[in-house]
């Protein structure tokens, strides 16, 4: 296996998990920058990013969400496909009946 193929195979995927009523857990390689585009140092491979805005060490979570009562709502779920009922005056197609 070439060095290039080995490097591509060893790259771990990046995942972001939203914790209910808590931070975003980021696992894997990412480039984290501040509002000016300057890099933010990561000291760990897995980091928790603040979503409540109350952390004293932003952008990282310090657990303040528990103190301030931060709550998230589950994302709205909708069906992937919405099938409308045919108008009442139309008869079903012979192929679908």
Would you say residue 1 has pLDDT above 50?
no
Question: Is 60 exceeded by the pLDDT of residue 8?
Answer: no
Q: Do 52 and 68 meet the contact criterion of CB atoms below 8 Å apart?
A: yes
Architecture label for domain 12-68: 3-Layer(aba) Sandwich (3.40)
The 10s digit of each residue's pLDDT in 27-74 is 999 999 999 999 999 889 899 999 999 999 999 999 999 999 999 987
With a cut of 80, say whether residue 9 has pLDDT above it: no
Instruction: Grade residue 82 by pLDDT with cuts at 50, 70 and 90.
Output: low
Dist. CA 58–CA 4, nearest whole Å: 36
Cα separations (Å) of 38 from 8, 25, 41?
Answer: 27, 21, 10
* Residues 6+ positions from 31 with CB-CB distance below 8 Å: 39
């Amino acid at each position: 296996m070439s060095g290039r193929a080995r490097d591509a195979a060893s790259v771990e995927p990046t995942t972001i998990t939203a914790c209910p009523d808590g931070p975003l857990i980021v696992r894997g390689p990412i480039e984290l920058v501040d509002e000016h585009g300057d890099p933010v140092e990561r000291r760990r491979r897995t980091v928790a990013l603040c979503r409540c805005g109350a952390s004293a060490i932003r952008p990282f979570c310090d657990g303040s969400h528990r103190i301030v009562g931060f709550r998230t709502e589950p994302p709205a779920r909708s069906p992937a496909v919405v099938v409308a009922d045919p108008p009442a005056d139309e008869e079903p197609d012979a192929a679908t009946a």
